[in-house]
Amino acid sequence: MRLTDCTTLTFDCYGTLIDWESGIVAALQPLLARLGTAPSRDAALAAFARHETRLEAAHPTMRYRELLARVHDALAHEWGAAPDAAGSRRFGASVGDWPAFADTAASLAYLRRHYRLVILSNVDRDSFRASSVRLGVDFDAVFTAEDIGTYKPDPRNFAWLVEHLATMGVAKSQILHTAQSLFHDHAPANAAGLASAWIDRRHAASGWGATAAPPAGVRYDFRFASLAELVAAHQAAL
């Protein structure tokens, strides 16, 4: 398979286009400051991943900002901090403050000239709208967990993606799903029969950061350390 075989790039947003780990850690600072001994960055992200994964499975129709508030509640309880409802609400509303990766806007601007661009995200519509100004392009379609009623890696998110792109004249064989998370994105993309490109944003770090560990046997068609590397590979393919 070649990058030029596809007509449509479907993107996970948070972790792939938006630097959610930096955003999460920054938004957790008021809570971490209240602890006698704060966990390390890696430990905090791993705890976030554990609670987010559990709550997304338990509450698939809950809006992401409300789910994030519950994650904050769970982290405070785990770390022995007093409950802080206002702090949890602020954490839930922090998505729009999370920064884009440095290469995101320029890479998307280039890719927009060659592909349809589509978002498949685990957030709610308002949270994505707040982030979209950092991305610099208009997407051909945006599908969120709020629209679908389930969170990735539920296979229904990818069934929704394939079904709705078909109404736009996009065949499954024309889609390249482009994402960082092997757990949320590549494993269910494999099951849906989609080609995928792994944007390995954590290539210089150990562990899985803010995502759960992937199941065994996850595969992908391309691997790039950044979106800029994907752009360079596309330019070389041309």
Three-state SS string over 70-95 comes to HHHHHHHHHCCCCCCHHHHHHHHCCH
Residues 112-171: tens digit of each pLDDT: 999 999 999 999 999 999 999 999 999 999 999 999 999 999 999 999 999 999 999 999
CATH at 51: 1.10.150.750
Single out the residue of 107, 102, 110, 99 nearest to residue 133, CA to CA.
99
> And the tokens for 2?
């070649």
pLDDT at residue 87, as a whole number: 97
**127: CATH:** 3.40.50.1000
Q: Give 207-238 pLDDT, tens digit per residue.
A: 999 999 999 999 999 999 999 999 999 999 99
Average of per-residue pLDDT values in the chain: 97
Nearest to 113 by CA among 237, 236, 234: 234
DSSP string, 38-56: PPPHHHHHHHHHHHHHHHH
Q: Which of 149, 128, 146, 162 is nearest to 12 (CA)?
A: 128
Both 66 and 121 in one domain: the answer is no
- How many domains does the structure of the chain reveal? 2
Same domain, yes or no: 109 and 15: yes
Are residues 114 and 217 both part of a single domain? yes
pLDDT tens, residue by residue, 76-111 = 999 999 999 999 999 999 999 999 999 999 999 999
Concerning whether 42 is annotated as a catalytic residue, the answer is: no
pLDDT digits (tens, 9 = 90+) for 199-213: 999 999 999 999 999
Picking from 63, 97, 131, the residue at the C-terminal end of a domain is: 97
Q: Are residues 204 and 133 in the same domain?
A: yes
Report pTM. 0.96
Note the pLDDT of residue 1.
85
Domain's final residue, options 97, 131, 154: 97
Cα–Cα distance, 13 to 131 (Å, whole number)? 9
**Structural domain span for residue 115:** 3-19+100-237
Let me know: does 45 contact 135? Beta carbons within 8 Å.
Answer: no
**pLDDT class for 47, splitting at 50, 70, 90?**
very high
Instruction: Please identify which of the residues 5, 12, 42, 147 carries the catalytic annotation.
Output: 12
**Number of neighbouring beta carbons within 10 Å of residue 110:** 18
Between CA 163 and CA 70 the distance in angstroms is 32
Of 97, 127, 157, the position where a domain reaches its end is: 97
Note whether 130 and 12 are same-domain residues: yes
Nearest-angstrom CA–CA distance, 213 and 210: 10
